[in-house]
Structure 1
Amino acid sequence: MITQSFYHYVQIYRNADLLEKDQQAQFAELVFLDGDFPKAASDFATLSNYIELNQRYSDYVATFDDIWQSYSDKYLS
């Protein structure tokens, strides 16, 4: 049972101290600042399509995949 959207889950990776060197922190910050991000979504297809179709995330596709795996292990397994 999903109890948290992906958007809310990814916020655990936000960390201003790590922004310069940590891809997950950078990705989380981008998601946080993105007013169009599908905040209520918890399905891979919606989120993956959004990430892949938005240029701002082009350097973070693999990071999304890693965070998605962690999210799905916690909430979808």
Structure 2
Amino acid sequence: MKDHSFYQYVMTVRGQNDEKGILAEEIFNDLAFPKQEKDFNALSDYIETAGNYSVSLSVFDSMYEDYQEWLQF
């Protein structure tokens, strides 16, 4: 099982031609993004309140589920 932050997972999604890829690029460009964070609630709160993201929060929810699966392998 991997021990990586959500940000590290996001970097594997950059470049995809879909909403997840767009969100990944926006997270990459957000210099204040909590890069070491793993907790869903902390990340969700940040994206909802501090971030200026163009995609819906449901895209983040889906990416976080993917992240949890990614940690298993």
Moved over 3 A (4+): none
Aligned AA (2:5) = S
1:12: how far off?
1.0
> For residue 4 of structure 2, what is the aligned residue in structure 1?
4
1:55–1:7 distance in 2 versus 1, CA, 3 Å: closer
1:69 has 2:65 as partner: yes
Within 2, Cα distance between the matches of 1:75 and 1:51? 21
Within 1, Cα distance between the matches of 2:47 and 2:54? 8
**2:23/2:55 contact within 8 Å kept:** no
> For residue 36 of structure 1, what is the aligned residue in structure 2?
32
Within 1, Cα distance between the matches of 2:45 and 2:63? 15
- Contiguous gaps of at least 5 residues in structure 2: none
Within 2, Cα distance between the matches of 1:35 and 1:63? 20
**1:11/1:32 contact within 8 Å kept:** yes
TM-score (structure 1 length as normaliser): 0.80
Higher helix share: 1
- Contiguous gaps of at least 5 residues in structure 1: none
Identity over aligned pairs, percent? 38
Larger Rg: 1
> For residue 13 of structure 1, what is the aligned residue in structure 2?
13
